[in-house]
Chain A
Amino acid sequence: MESVRSSTATANDIRKILDEIRFGSFALIENYSTVGSDLTLYALLNYTYERSLPVIVEDIFDAFAGYVRHFEAMGLAPPMDHVGVLKVGGIDDIGHVVYKLQFEADPTLYLQKKEKAIAEAMGDDRYAYIVTGFERLFGFQRDVKEVYVIVNHLRKNLGNERRLTISITEGNVIEGFPTNPLPLIEDVATSVIELHDHEDLVRLDLKKSVFNILGGTKKLFVRPADVVGWW
């Protein structure tokens, strides 16, 4: 354990990883830890603010609202002035809501409306597109055909130079759905990072990546208390 402890990640390590996420790519963060999603979102809001990068958050079924409620309990107030929120279903409007979509079980309808709303909100800017609650969408899909419609949409957006897509997904939830589409989504993703609890640390498993950090290691340990002190 001592060696792990002495080599926990620094703010710069995390910035380096985030700098590697290119426009047009799709980064999938799969959270299996308890506080990993909260901390990831906290880091992303701060990082994008530092980089003056506008953000659109897709808040599916109040997932983003839930994380923000956690920030309040943690006594954290990450920057949100550069963030627009696109609500998909849900009842809890938190943040600067730019558009509200009724939830549609039919993914074709949902995807069209969503893209139209993002285009209207972001104009010609380059932006980070952070998806929260992505897994919940799949809970409502009745068969694999519908899952493919969503996955094809992700594929189509690979190479979209105006957009840097990051999805924060709860691994235990998505694997609990009958249509567990995780392997399909991982294949489309440009990078996949799993978050796990490791005693009082969070372990980042760089499962699929071109990241070359810390001498090519595939694992990175983060002390949660450090993250909330970085910004």
Chain B
Amino acid sequence: MEATISMLLELVKPGETVIVEYETSYVPELILKLVADYTKENNVPFVIDDYFDSLYTLLAHYDIHDLDVDIGHSYVLKVGGRNEVGGTVKHVKFHPDPRVLLMNYNENFLPSIGTETPAINLVLGFESALYFVRDIRDFYRLLLGLQRYVGNKRRKAFYILHSEFFANLPRYILPELRRIATSLWTVKSYPAGISVSVLKSPDMGLLGRQFNIDIGGVVSGER
């Protein structure tokens, strides 16, 4: 069915961890724009976890096409990478040992979000962090650290994951991420927008449903 980004984001409950899978396309760019506009217009705290310059890459694509995306109101937790972009940027030192990485992350995450409206937490480039996981023990340390955030009602988290990436990682990794998540979406782009299929949700009524979000006006600034 036709939908708007506010409808879709409001179907997600505070505390949820949503895995959003896409294949090579402009899906991450489009999601960034939709969420940036939504959070700005509705005064929703906007937190971006930016692994290894992923956010910079998306913004560079907007620049090249002379398109605008305003993320001045965002709070960026920058993990690794060099190019600082976004509103308030906090550095989380990347460390290949997940115990250290999670400690660094936890110190920065809670202060970044307010206590009233749950924040929208967009996670970009998390796949890259998985490349640095040395063994299965480290992977589970990271996974269980992420699971501790599931149910934290101060945020709704969206992990934007390039699904083709996982073909090069041990096969249990993607199923484990899908398992700990409360929701699983696959997103495809089509000329006029994106379509979101709901494969997993705590709301049983949403299972198997598809939402199309028209995007033409959003990107060309005609809204």
Residues of A participating in the B interface, judged by any CB pair closer than 8 Å: 34-35, 37, 61-62, 65-66, 69-70, 72-75, 90-92, 136, 139-140, 170, 172-177, 197, 199-200, 224-225, 227-228
B179 at the interface (CB under 8 A from A): yes
Does A34 contact B178, Cβ atoms closer than 8 Å?
A: yes
Q: Which residues of B contact A92 (CB under 8 A)?
A: 144, 147-148
Does A176 contact B171, Cβ atoms closer than 8 Å?
A: yes
Scan residues 13-41 of chain B and give those whose CB is less than 8 A from a CB of chain A. Answer: 13, 15-16
Which of B15, B182, B184 has most A Cβ within 10 Å? B182
Q: Which residues of B contact A35 (CB under 8 A)?
A: 200-201, 204, 207
Q: Which residues of A contact B147 (CB under 8 A)?
A: 62, 65-66, 69, 92
Does B136 contact A170, Cβ atoms closer than 8 Å?
A: no
B199 at the interface (CB under 8 A from A): yes
19 more contacts with CB within 8 A, not counting A62-B144, A65-B147, A72-B151, are: A34-B207, A35-B207, A37-B179, A62-B147, A66-B147, A69-B151, A69-B182, A70-B150, A73-B151, A74-B202, A74-B203, A75-B202, A139-B172, A172-B175, A173-B175, A177-B172, A200-B209, A224-B204, A225-B204
Docked CA distance A177–B178 (Å): 16
Does B202 contact A70, Cβ atoms closer than 8 Å?
A: yes
Q: Which residues of B contact A176 (CB under 8 A)?
A: 170-173, 175
The closest CB in chain B to the CB of A197 belongs to B199
How many of chain B's residues have a CB under 8 angstroms from any CB in A?
33
B208 at the interface (CB under 8 A from A): yes
Q: Which residues of B contact A199 (CB under 8 A)?
A: 208
Does B180 contact A66, Cβ atoms closer than 8 Å?
A: yes
B205 at the interface (CB under 8 A from A): yes
Q: What 4 A-B pairs are tightest by C-beta distance, nearest first? A: A176-B171, A176-B172, A200-B208, A34-B200
B70 at the interface (CB under 8 A from A): no
Q: Which residues of A contact B208 (CB under 8 A)?
A: 199-200
Does B204 contact A91, Cβ atoms closer than 8 Å?
A: no
Q: Which residues of A contact B150 (CB under 8 A)?
A: 66, 69-70, 73
Does B15 contact A72, Cβ atoms closer than 8 Å?
A: yes
Instruction: Out of A34, A61, A174, A224, name the residue touching B140 (CB < 8 Å).
Output: A61
B137 at the interface (CB under 8 A from A): yes
User: What distance in Å separates the Cβ of A95 from its nearest Cβ neighbour in chain B?
Assistant: 14
Instruction: Out of A91, A173, A225, name the residue touching B179 (CB < 8 Å).
Output: A173
Docked CA distance A72–B17 (Å): 12
Docked CA distance A37–B151 (Å): 18
Given A170-B175, A176-B172, verify A73-B16 contact (CB < 8 Å).
Answer: yes
